Amino acid sequence: MAQEDQLKKVIGHAKEYGFVFPSSEIYDGLSAAYDYGQLGVELKNNIKAYWWAAMVRMHENIVGLDASIFMHPTTWKASGHTDAFNDPLIDNKDSKKRYRADVLIEEYIAKIDAKIAKDVKKAQKRFGDAFDKAEFLSTNGNCLRRQAEIDGINDRFKAAMEADDLVAVKALIEDLGIACPVSGSRNWTDVRQFNLMFKTELGAVSGDAGVIYLRPETAQGIFVNFLNVQKSGRMKLPFGIAQIGKAFRNEIIARQFIFRMREFEQMEMQFFVAPGDQTKWYEYWKDQRIAWHKALGLGEEKYRFHDHIKLAHYADAASDIEFDFPMGFKELEGIHSRTDFDLKAHEEHSGRKLRFYDPEREESYVPYVVETSLGLDRMFLAVLSSALREEQLEGGSERTVMCIPPALAPVKVAILPLLKKDGLPEKAREVLQLLKLNYNVQYDEKDAIGRRYRRQDAIGTPLCVTIDHDTLTDGAVTLRDRDTMEQQRVAIEDLTAAVEAKVSMATLFS
């Protein structure tokens, strides 16, 4: 299936079955804002629970936090967001469309890259098994010329951005002859920096004095509480603080469904370590985080690391875990070695000491920080897009099934009386009462049993329990597995254990 079609399918399915709706849809929606429906909120909560258990419950030295979205405005001065959380934007005067200047340049480069890939493919076809890609790239005249062009553009762009020279960025766009995809014209405005933070006003104070921001990341709530948590929890280094919460960024171009939104949720953990230990812990967290993802069984080949060459002002090492979304490999989670940048900056701006007294080293110092930062909505999209399948069944029929990892599935068990009579609904409700103590279960007695199975497949329910006439006499039910579609008889008294074996989150940690 073409990648774009797959994304469209996911969006359509998510809406049809109550996972994700466009925000304020009756007013034609609001761009890049989405609402999670009745099943979406369950899946989201389960992803959060899996992350929280892995970070907080499984680590004796990690604790949680829930900081407020509004923070003192100096926080963002200290973190660098007021001055440097910008994207360079440019408008086309004819179409009135706005673009990120860096994205226009990246797309131009991607076209040259595509030409190189085409040449490689052609040569591969011509030379067959004898083809050596590395040698071809380093000797073929066309490829060398194209690569040199890419390098030249990258160098010019990097130099312009580092010098904060927006005139040079515009000159680059003009020299490359980049045209607006909508109007086709090269009639561009100057490039301007656009700050991604949303501003609002606090209480009755108007004007600059009352300006505050919606937090663009949850991390700063952790940094400003570093000492509160360390002291009240008597934490010793190394230790971590984990937080799940909303973040807001006024993205210039927000698209690709819930991948890039203006209001989204982050699951972040800041791990405080002694200076000098950061590389060891950076590697540790890279390993831990990739293992957390892979345990879900979405497919090992769907993940890759992308190490950053150009680092943010606060980092000494950074890597993204990229996921193979329907739009291709894109950033899912970031792991950053943030040095002592943030705590030091907060010390300077607040005048308070944010240090840890190390009894072994007999000195106090500002800790270094390794951060893991995962977008909850991107994680949701990763699960949904890889789970949705259309399967051909024996006998020629088809089914749409969501192979959501059972521990994350919104509904764990569907309770289905075979008929709506003969005391079967009553017996089914007894089983429902039993299972709902531990699991999110759904009762369904409408339509033929086959159609009910299909409905549960489509929302990813791992198990269906069918109550039939035999149940009334032998006290057993039929348990049907979503993935294998196999059915087995299970005594009602053994049902909880059978469900637990299938859907327990504990299996993900083994």
Question: Rule CB under 6 A: which residues touch ligand ATP?
Answer: 249, 251, 260-261, 264, 266, 331-334, 373-375, 377-378
Residue type, 146: R
* Shortest Å, Cβ 305 to ligand ATP: 13
- First-to-last CA distance in the chain? 34
How far is residue 152's CA from residue 421's CA, in Å, rounded to a whole number? 76
Supply the minimum distance, in Å, between the C-beta of residue 223 and ligand ATP: 15
User: Contact at 8 Å (CB) between 172 and 160?
Assistant: yes
Nearer to ligand ATP, 332 or 369 (CB): 332
CB 246 within 8 A of CB 70: no
Taking the complex as a whole, how short is the minimal distance between the CB of residue 273 and ligand ATP, in angstroms?
Answer: 20
The first and second tokens of residue 330, run together, are 């894109």
Closest distance to ligand ATP from the beta carbon of 267 (Å): 9
- Report the residue number, 341 or 356, with the smaller CB distance to ligand ATP: 341
Contact 225, 240 (CB under 8 A): no
386/471 with CB nearer ligand ATP: 386
CA distance 247 to 261: 10
Structural tokens at position 474? 């032998």
Tell me the sheet residues that pair with 413: 441, 463
Closest distance of CB 193 from ligand ATP, Å: 16
Query: Computed from CA positions of residues 435, 438, 444, 448, in that sequence, does the dihedral angle turn out positive or negative?
Result: negative
Task: Give every CB contact of residue 388 below 8 A, 6+ residues apart in sequence.
Answer: 6, 9, 10, 13, 400, 402
Strand (E) or helix (H) holding 239: strand 239-248
> Cβ closer to ligand ATP: 215 or 378?
378
Query: Between residues 78 and 374, which has the closer beta carbon with respect to ligand ATP?
Result: 374
Paired tokens of 365: 């110092």
CB of 404 to ligand ATP, least distance (A): 19
Comparing CB distances to ligand ATP, the nearer of 374 and 431 is 374
Write out the DSSP string of 449-507.
HHHHHHHHHHHT-SEEEEE-HHHHHH-EEEEEETTT--EEEEEHHHHHHHHHHHH-THH
Least separation in angstroms between residue 208's CB and ligand ATP is: 26
3-state secondary structure of 414: strand
For ligand ATP, which is the closer residue by CB, 212 or 376?
A: 376
CA distance 414 to 407: 15
Q: Give 399: exposed, middle or buried? Use CB within 10 Å, 0-12, 13-18, 19+.
A: middle
Cα–Cα distance measured from residue 466 to residue 424, given in angstroms and rounded to the nearest whole number: 10
Q: CB 128 → ligand ATP: shortest distance, Å?
A: 39
> What CA–CA distances, in Å, run from 35 to 26, 50, 409, 431?
13, 21, 18, 33
Beta carbon of residue 375, minimum distance to ligand ATP (angstroms, whole number): 2
Tell me the residue number closest to ligand ATP, measured at CB: 375
Hey, which residues does 45 pair with through a beta bridge?
A: none
Shortest distance (Å) from residue 311 CB to ligand ATP: 12
Residue type, 324: D
Q: Which is nearer to ligand ATP, 373 or 461 (CB)?
A: 373
Beta-strand relationship, 317-325 and 211-213: unpaired
Which two tokens mark 398?
């088809």
For residues 247 and 71, the answer to whether their CB atoms sit within 8 Å is no
Query: Which one, 46 or 266, has the nearer CB to ligand ATP?
Result: 266
Q: Which is nearer to ligand ATP, 334 or 460 (CB)?
A: 334
By beta-carbon proximity to ligand ATP, the closer residue of 333 and 342 is 333
Smallest separation, CB 361 to ligand ATP (Å): 31
User: What are 345's two structure tokens?
Assistant: 């900056």
